[in-house]
């Protein structure tokens, strides 16, 4: 086996492992959001959870450049919304 084939297979297995981790994290967050805990969480907690999932997707997901830009734009909006929610809470 050549170095190039070894590197390619290692990269593929790392990509699969990252996608599995991301998938588990997303399923875990969705399970929490569907459960009774979600009813007790405030808006800022929901926004923070969504931002965390999108951050994982942007970092480890298999996204093309345009999709990654869209995810990053959504993240910016979520963080701005979170800041506004917390500012209103403190006022």
Domain ranges of the chain: 3-90
Per-residue model confidence (pLDDT) at position 27: 73
Burial of 47 (0-12, 13-18, 19+ CB in 10 A): buried
Say yes or no to pLDDT of 78 above 60.
yes
Say yes or no to pLDDT of 2 above 70.
no
Count of CB atoms within 10 A of residue 71's CB? 17
Per-residue model confidence (pLDDT) at position 91: 79
Helices (H), 1-91: 3-34, 36-40, 43-60, 65-90
Global model pTM greater than 0.75: no
Instruction: Give the pLDDT band of residue 88 (cuts 50, 70, 90).
Output: confident
């Amino acid at each position: 086996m050549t170095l190039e084939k070894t590197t390619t297979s290692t990269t593929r297995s790392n990509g699969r492992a990252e996608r599995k981790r991301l998938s588990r994290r997303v399923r875990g967050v969705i399970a929490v959001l569907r459960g009774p805990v979600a009813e007790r969480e405030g808006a800022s907690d929901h926004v923070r959870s969504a931002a965390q999932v999108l951050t994982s997707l942007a970092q480890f997901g298999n996204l093309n450049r345009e999709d990654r830009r869209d995810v990053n734009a959504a993240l910016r909006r979520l963080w701005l919304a979170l800041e506004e929610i917390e500012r209103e809470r403190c006022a």
